[in-house]
Amino acid sequence: MKNNLLLLLGLAVLASCQPAKKQEPAPPPNIVLLFVDDMGWQDTSVPFWNKKTAFNELYVTPNMERLAKEGMKFTQAYSTAVCSPTRVSLMTGMNAARHRVTNWTLKKDMLQPMEVNHKTLQFPEWNVNGMSPVAGDDKAVHATPLPQILKDAGYFTIHSGKAHFGAIGTPGENPLNLGFDINIAGHAAGAPESYYGTENFGNGKEGKEIWAVPGLEQYHGKDIYLTEAITQEALKSLDAAAEKEQPFFLYMAHYAVHTPIMGDDRYLQKYLEKGMDSTEAKYASMVEGMDKSLGDIMDYLERKNLEENTIILFMSDNGGLSAVARGGEKHTHNKPLASGKGSAYEGGIREPMLVKWPGKVKPGSISDNYVIIEDFYPTILEMAGVENPKYVQAMDGQSFTSMLTKKESNSSERPLFWHYPNEWGPDGPGIGASSTVRKGDWKLIYFHEDQHFELFNLTTDIGETKNLTSEHPDKVGKLAKILSDHLRKVDAQMPSFKDSGEPVPFPDEITL
């Protein structure tokens, strides 16, 4: 014993004289995911195409520019075409065809009237109750949520803003049931009744209870915009994380820029002076308010000396709204992309995505590799250093950390899938029940209602203007097979025809 002590003492003296050879393991990084609602690919001054567009000149997002300078810009990042499928994919790592929360959720056990009343299609019993952290819930997908794994790994997990993971009255409606330590303003609904503190964010309006934003009572009656209020609350939670000496995961999920389009008065005037119509000016002011939130978070991290150990990811949950509620011509708000939210075309699914990872990602870099929303789950776990994470669900997402740290990637060999056996509501190009595959330059869409195909080469035709099915029937056949194999493998649901009761055939069952 004595000898051992002497030996230890000797080693300690020796160690103190030597320069440290082994560094302490780096603390786990903090992770911020800024998730915008309904923000389109062109709703920013950062060009995500190969050239600046008129939209890039119109919108003012200096903090997205700042983040792009400090990180990597993804030009081909995808979500799904509507809210809940994307959010459930993000929180489960599952493709929408597999998790079956294929449309937006709200009421327990209920299909919305637009689905029930469709003229020709009977929609499947999809998971209308959203995601659930427990097994056995009816019409809900059971999965281990991303924040739960981070929490179990020692992270302080903060939900701020819009949740929209589960229907009213189900476990998934409350972010605290999904592994978040803190929930600021999140619940079942996917939109706020009001963005204005002076209107109590919709609280107290009769008949509008389900849309009233919960939990921000201290801002009621005050002249503050919702985006600002949830940002201020999020930063207070980061102070709490610092006191606990835990790494944090901040899921900053803005209600903006979803409808109702209500101007953010801090920024509105300048857009009116640009001559924009009042709806579009209001929309642009909401975008800039969201950008200010990003800037406030980045400033906070700098001020607290946290920026070197904090990863920031920026993403949107579906394409920019263009079919309803916007000013100007419908279906043009995401140009050069076709259509918008709800559509299988690029305007419905391609997103502005940025990633800053100090020491790993080259500042100011650009990636043309494609990624899809379910990839965030394994990526974030890898970033957090969680080894062998335990989850109950099948994993479709693939980590994109190698795209962040290396130049090469083989993303063009990997097929991406979208599946929407549902009805969104508004009409427009590419909007309706469909299944889609993208592989390399090519994208095939299969529309369920009339079983027609559309084939596009995205490299030469980003606007999906020329349907190449008759020029390339071989390509259609190959992609239809890849798509159908996936749908069968994950046991995807298909709609059926109201007149015959027969299911809509899989794409490879259609004779060209």
158 vs 186, 292, 361, 417, 490, CA distance in Å? Answer: 11, 19, 24, 30, 31
Return the range that interacts with Ca ion (CB under 5 A); candidates 22-30, 32-40, 238-246, 401-409. Answer: 32-40
For residues 258 and 37, the answer to whether their CB atoms sit within 8 Å is yes
DSSP letter at 130? B
Up-side HSE of residue 469: CA atoms within 13 Å toward CB?
12
322 binds Ca ion (CB under 5 A): no
Shortest distance in whole angstroms from residue 435 CB to Ca ion: 20
* Measured distance CA(491)–CA(100) in Å, rounded: 9
Q: Is 317 near Ca ion (CB under 5 A)?
A: yes
Among positions 29, 37, 380, 383, the unique one binding Ca ion when judged by CB under 5 A: 37
Which residue number, 103 or 200, has a Cβ lying nearer to Ca ion?
103
| Cα–Cα distance for residue pair 496/502, rounded to 1 Å | 5
CB of 174 to Ca ion, least distance (A): 20
- The tokens for 283 are 């929309």
CA distance linking residue 74 with residue 48, whole number of Å: 7
Write the CA distances from 93 to 43, 197, 301, 411, 425, integer angstroms.
26, 35, 28, 17, 27
In the bound state, the residue with its beta carbon closest to Ca ion is 83
Is there binding between residue 83 and Ca ion (CB under 5 A)? yes
Residue 199 makes contact with Ca ion by CB under 5 A: no
- The nearer residue to Ca ion, 147 or 340, going by C-beta atoms, is 340
Give φ, ψ of 485 to 5 degrees: -60, -45
> Using CA atoms, how far apart are residues 481 and 485, in angstroms rounded to an integer?
6
Q: Which is nearer to Ca ion, 81 or 146 (CB)?
A: 81
- Strand, helix or coil for residue 429: coil
Residue 352 or 507 with smaller CB distance to Ca ion = 352
Q: What are the CA-CA distances from residue 50 to residues 21, 154, 219, 397 (Å)?
A: 46, 41, 42, 27
Tell me whether residue 86 or residue 170 sits nearer to Ca ion (CB atom): 86
To the nearest whole angstrom, how small is the minimum distance from the Cβ of residue 452 to Ca ion? 27
Q: Should residue 185 be labelled a site residue for Ca ion when binding is judged by CB under 5 A?
A: no
Map tokens 């606007």 to a residue: 463
The verdict on 38 binding Ca ion (CB under 5 A) reads yes
For 103, 126, 128, 212, the CA distances from 110, given in Å and listed in that order, are: 12, 10, 7, 20
Site string for Ca ion, 365-394 (x = CB under 5 A): ------------------------------
> How near is the Cβ of 40 to Ca ion at its closest, in Å?
11
In sequence order, the 6+-apart residues with CB closer than 8 A to the CB of 172 are 129, 130, 131, 132, 133, 140, 165, 166, 178
**Cis bond leading into 257, ω under 30°?**
yes
> Among 192, 162, 156, which Cα is nearest to 175's?
162
| Stretch of 28-36, 79-87, 136-144, 394-402 lying at the interface with Ca ion (CB under 5 A) | 79-87
Site string for Ca ion, 276-315 (x = CB under 5 A): ----------------------------------------
Q: Closest CB to Ca ion among 341 and 443?
A: 341
Where do we find the tokens 């900053």? 252
- Choices 29-37, 402-410, 432-440, 485-493; region in contact with Ca ion by CB under 5 A: 29-37
DSSP code per residue over 240-301:
HHHHHT--EEEEEE--TTSSS----TTTHHHHHHTT--HHHHHHHHHHHHHHHHHHHHHHHH
Cβ closest to Ca ion, residue 77 vs residue 311: 77
Binding residue count for Ca ion, defined by CB under 5 A: 5
Those residues with Cβ within 8 angstroms of residue 418's Cβ, 6 or more apart along the chain or in another chain: 78, 80, 81, 96, 97, 344, 349, 434, 435, 436, 437
**Using CB under 5 A, which of the segments 75-83, 249-257, 376-384, 454-462 binds Ca ion?**
75-83
318 binds Ca ion (CB under 5 A): yes
Q: 412 by DSSP, 3-state: which?
A: helix
Question: Stretches 30-38, 244-252, 267-275, 454-462: which one binds Ca ion (CB under 5 A)?
Answer: 30-38
Smallest separation (angstroms) from Ca ion to the CB of 37: 4
Q: Which is nearer to Ca ion, 38 or 181 (CB)?
A: 38
Cβ 325 to Ca ion, closest distance in Å? Answer: 13
Q: Is 508 in the site for Ca ion (CB under 5 A)?
A: no
**Contact call for residue 43 and Ca ion (CB under 5 A):** no
Instruction: State which residue, 83 or 312, has the beta carbon closest to Ca ion.
Output: 83
- Which CB, 40 or 93, lies closer to Ca ion? 40
Min dist CB 314 to Ca ion, Å, is 15
What's the count of helices (H) and strands (E) in the chain, helices before strands? 14, 16
Nearer to Ca ion, 161 or 378 (CB): 161
Residue 56 Cβ, how far from Ca ion at the closest point, in Å?
A: 22
Q: Shortest Cβ distance from residue 83 to Ca ion (Å)? A: 4
Question: Stretches 7-15, 78-86, 220-228, 271-279: which one binds Ca ion (CB under 5 A)?
Answer: 78-86
- Binding part of the chain for Ca ion, among 82-90, 110-118, 237-245, 462-470 by CB under 5 A, reads 82-90
Rounded distance between C-alpha atoms, residue 81 and residue 346, angstroms: 9
Tokens of 285: 């002011």
Binders of Ca ion among 332-351, rule CB under 5 A?
A: none
Q: Is the dihedral of CA 116, 119, 124, 130 positive or negative?
A: negative
Query: Cβ closer to Ca ion: 272 or 324?
Result: 324
Nearer to Ca ion, 92 or 484 (CB): 92
| Chain residues that interact with Ca ion, rule: CB under 5 A | 37-38, 83, 317-318
